[in-house]
Structure 1
């Protein structure tokens, strides 16, 4: 394989970056859309609009649940590409692996405040707000 393994190694980290960017972009799109939908929906008045608020809330809940799932899948693929990169080092450059191995590897699975988890929490907050939204609209018009 000669030195081509280095390009494959770099490719793994490029893919990790792409997954991270896609997760962040999708999360941002969902959060902005959710904010806009709830803000526009806050202008709803009257009994007839309670059902419109319910449909709007259902839509906001659905897209935020998808965003939570997406964040989890992005992390899965990041871990997958990290494992591939580690295996490439193990197979083709044990000296570099030993140098990198001197720094203790942190177990990010134990960090419950890592960025994907914080994004999931934020989307969860929007799910709760969306569920409460029709009630707030209904009580505000009463």
Structure 2
């Protein structure tokens, strides 16, 4: 499911947005707008949750005897997990150093949860499945 075109489009969009936020918006607006640093954390957080899900499935299949470590996708999602965790920690610390915790925490929680739900809907095609059920 993680290699479906819709999810890969989401993955690419998030990566482009994060690079744009890091390279353009963070230096200019990061210290005055709480949404910049928390946006980077939330976007990368949604990727890390989906990548951990894909990695967990690959490890489960590997333990069942179907070696998934030979596939490039498994290593790609391992790289995404490691990279996203490092970026999240870095920018969450910047947000907490710059802004009050009472402001950062709720914004981060809502953005992270919303983006993770969106990523899950895309990855697992929940909305498509629900539309098929209601149309029958």
TM-score by length of 2: 0.43
Q: Which has the higher contact order (CA 8 A, sep 6+)?
A: 1
